[in-house]
Structure 1
Amino acid sequence: MEAFLTVDDLKVHFPTVDGVVKATDGLSFGLARGKTLGIVGESGSGKSVSSSAILGLHRGTNAVVSGEIRLDGNNLLALSDEEMRMRRGKEVAMIFQDPLSSLHPYFTIGNQIAEAYLVHHKVSKSAARTRVVEMLDRVGIPQADRRLNDYPHQFSGGMRQRAMIAMALINDPSLVIADEPTTALDVTVQAQILDLLQDLQRDFNTAIILITHDLGVVAEMADDVLVMYAGRAVEYGPCKEILTHPEMPYTWGLLSSAPDLTASTSGRLLPIPGTPPSLLNPPSGCPFHPRCTHRDKVPGDLCRTTLPELLPGHHREDHTKRCHLADPDTVFRTEILPNLAPELVEESS
């Protein structure tokens, strides 16, 4: 299937007085219309930075962005600021993680959402207001025709998040980047929001990038999964394949950290040891090797000295992984799989 969004060798570097922070370093992936890409990884792995680059949000900063980002054949990095501004919000939109810092405290919710609509449509303010009420009602804001006159501080955290989602979806964009869109929402509203995103996808053939820490959400929504660590892709492929045949120890760690709802309450989670590396001075070789409990299975000193290439795995050509392990599938089956929460694999089936 032809990719609607193609990211090729994307690098986002931030020069600082202490050196260059390589927030994203050589990232490549594709996304077709009507499909969902789940991007997972710990905080600081480069998920939000790479997505912000797609919207051109690093323009005007000291960030050095290189590579290619093609949306429907157009290289977004080659567009002028004005051309990018006209595409932002209409063709590609983002649902931000923190609505409190993304909404202006001095303007009403309705005015801020209407502005996003009026920028791209030559309609009256009353028509824009009608559209705002429709969107607020669709994302579950009660009494939307009245609450659009409220200010952000008058909304709860969950309602502010829903308002942000309404702002992102109001122009029916072709590509939606959802950065932890359900973080502040309870389980019931989370399900409603995910259903809303799926309805939009079905109605308008929208491509969705879903950035999340919730592997259950990924298993339910994503067609493909991109696992990021230290600014790079360490595993990439179809969702079911990644969850049932992961071949990168970091992915095993993420899966093992998910609670098993069927296990005994006395059971313990298996967290990834250590902390994410500094992107100012990442480890040599495989950046995950200081935390990897399987590096002793690799002969010699490869993990510490040589960065693995992103190569096809053992099962499918479209499943790639960045690891020196010679037989990761055997290790996963014998050491990791017995400890995983079964609902993750079941939801991906």
Structure 2
Amino acid sequence: MSNPLLSVVDLKVHFPTNDGIVKATDGLSYTLERGKTLGIVGESGSGKSVSSSAIMGLHRGTNAHVSGQILLDGVDLLQLSNEDMRKHRGKEVAMIFQDPLSAMHPYYTVGNQIGEAYRVHHDVSKKAARARTIEMLERVGIPQPDRRVDDYPHQFSGGMRQRAMIAMGLINNPALLIADEPTTALDVTVQAQILDLLQDLQRDFDAGIIIITHDLGVVAEMADDVLVMYAGRAVEYGTTKEILTHPEMPYTWGLISSIPDVAGDTSARLIPIPGNPPSLLQPPTGCAFHPRCTHRDKVPGNLCVTTLPELVPGQRSEGHLKRCHIPDPDAVYEREVLPEIAPDLVEER
């Protein structure tokens, strides 16, 4: 079996503060194959963007303490010098940021900024960089790219700016593309266009994609595998089909339960996850989710409060990992959770 494109091993990103250490990411591990898509989901503050920023080397020069391994095609990015990391950033690994308006400089044209990303890694003239930029703008579906290349970011709509950011991320044909909430603040039609575009470009460039999102609908559409994060750790990991049809961690159940079913009963109430995400400065003992978990009575004794569960294989496959003390989570999900969120599906089963 070939080595994965990306292998993250025991990644920790800690931020020292006057009140203590914020453990934004604490022992995160996963892999990504070339040409595949990994969806990373979780509430705000779960460590999704922080871990991906570590891959880009964006914590360098800050007070963050980053440890572990980030192997991209066998090269540990954490061991590279700042100069070598700059050579990798944008060429081997690129990122589409959450807000394209703030990610692009308002004083420079869109074409100037995309062309600069190309010239940094290629010894070419401005004319050649401009031609490459126009080619990429056309590739991502921007009309009249030879004219729009000289427009400023504020002259682009939200969807157009997002397309321009994708063009900037892919102009150097990176092996890995990280998309941080690429469809945030876009209307549903434009969201679908952006996702279709990413999938088309992935097939063309054979890139690995990490998509960070709150939207499980986006994950179902795009991702081959899903990583569910909570309080800086992975709490469930597996194929998209396994995670969405047979989740084995109560936090994942909560994420799925809070999604409205457009084909179901329109009068049915959403089932929110009670409480708020924990402080990463003083996370709860044991399982970090236990203060909000409505199923901790299924675990004998006080195990949820005292002991952090390991990330272990689930009941259905070795590749499906879950961090939970519940002895038979599949049965609990089928018996208690599924009847509430999808009674029609229960009847079919």
TM-score interval (norm. to shorter): over 0.9
- Determine the C-alpha separation between the residues in 1 that align with 2:121 and 2:185: 29
- Determine the C-alpha separation between the residues in 2 that align with 1:94 and 1:342: 40
- What does 1:334-345 correspond to in 2, within 5 Å? 334-340=335-341
Matched, 1:94 2:95: yes
Instruction: Look up the equivalent residue of 2:109 and give its one-letter code.
Output: T
Bigger shift: residues 124-133 or 154-163: 154-163
Gaps of 5+ in 2: none
Matched, 1:153 2:148: no
Aligned-pair identity (%): 78
Residue 158 of structure 1 deviates from its aligned partner by 2.5
Residue 166 of structure 1 deviates from its aligned partner by 1.3
- Determine the C-alpha separation between the residues in 1 that align with 2:277 and 2:191: 28
TM-score under structure 2 normalisation? 0.95
Q: May I ask how many residue pairs the two structures share in their alignment? A: 345
Residue 185 of structure 1 deviates from its aligned partner by 2.3
Instruction: Look up the equivalent residue of 2:335 and give its one-letter code.
Output: T
Match of 2:43 in 1: 42
- Determine the C-alpha separation between the residues in 1 that align with 2:329 and 2:24: 28
SS, match of residue 314 in structure 1: coil
Residue 307 of structure 1 deviates from its aligned partner by 0.6
- Determine the C-alpha separation between the residues in 1 that align with 2:268 and 2:144: 45
Asked if the contact 1:261–1:341 (Cα under 8 Å) also holds between the matched residues in 2, the reply is no
Residue 182 of structure 1 deviates from its aligned partner by 1.4
Residue 140 of structure 1 deviates from its aligned partner by 2.6
Instruction: Look up the equivalent residue of 1:73 and give its one-letter code.
Output: G
Match of 2:52 in 1: 51
- Determine the C-alpha separation between the residues in 2 that align with 1:162 and 1:271: 33
Residue 30 of structure 1 deviates from its aligned partner by 0.5
Match of 2:234 in 1: 233
Asked if the contact 1:158–1:184 (Cα under 8 Å) also holds between the matched residues in 2, the reply is no
SS, match of residue 53 in structure 1: helix
1:294-325 residue CA offsets vs partner (Å, 9 max, x unmatched): 01111111111111010111110111100000
- Determine the C-alpha separation between the residues in 2 that align with 1:168 and 1:297: 46
Bigger shift: residues 138-147 or 263-272: 138-147
Residue 170 of structure 1 deviates from its aligned partner by 1.1
Distance 1:337 1:145, change over 3 A: same
Match of 2:206 in 1: 205
- Determine the C-alpha separation between the residues in 2 that align with 1:42 and 1:227: 9
- Determine the C-alpha separation between the residues in 2 that align with 1:341 and 1:134: 46
Asked if the contact 1:260–1:342 (Cα under 8 Å) also holds between the matched residues in 2, the reply is no
Residue 341 of structure 1 deviates from its aligned partner by 5.7
Distance 1:275 1:343, change over 3 A: farther
SS, match of residue 150 in structure 2: coil
Asked if the contact 1:35–1:208 (Cα under 8 Å) also holds between the matched residues in 2, the reply is yes
Asked if the contact 1:259–1:341 (Cα under 8 Å) also holds between the matched residues in 2, the reply is no
Asked if the contact 1:96–1:179 (Cα under 8 Å) also holds between the matched residues in 2, the reply is yes
SS, match of residue 174 in structure 2: coil
Residue 204 of structure 1 deviates from its aligned partner by 2.2
1:200-225 residue CA offsets vs partner (Å, 9 max, x unmatched): 22222211101111111111211110
Match of 1:191 in 2: 192
- Determine the C-alpha separation between the residues in 2 that align with 1:260 and 1:144: 39
Bigger shift: residues 311-320 or 195-204: 195-204
Match of 1:330 in 2: 331
Bigger shift: residues 270-279 or 124-133: 124-133
SS, match of residue 323 in structure 1: coil
Asked if the contact 1:37–1:224 (Cα under 8 Å) also holds between the matched residues in 2, the reply is yes
Match of 2:165 in 1: 164
- What does 1:94-173 correspond to in 2, within 5 Å? 94-173=95-174
Instruction: Look up the equivalent residue of 1:282 and give its one-letter code.
Output: P
- Determine the C-alpha separation between the residues in 2 that align with 1:342 and 1:134: 50
Match of 2:287 in 1: 286
1:87-109 residue CA offsets vs partner (Å, 9 max, x unmatched): 10011000000112211111111
Match of 1:347 in 2: none
- Determine the C-alpha separation between the residues in 1 that align with 2:282 and 2:113: 40
Distance 1:342 1:190, change over 3 A: farther
Residue 343 of structure 1 deviates from its aligned partner by 12
Residue 332 of structure 1 deviates from its aligned partner by 0.4
1:264-309 residue CA offsets vs partner (Å, 9 max, x unmatched): 2211111101110010111111000010000111111111111101
Bigger shift: residues 227-236 or 176-185: 176-185
Distance 1:50 1:205, change over 3 A: same
Gaps of 5+ in 1: 345-349
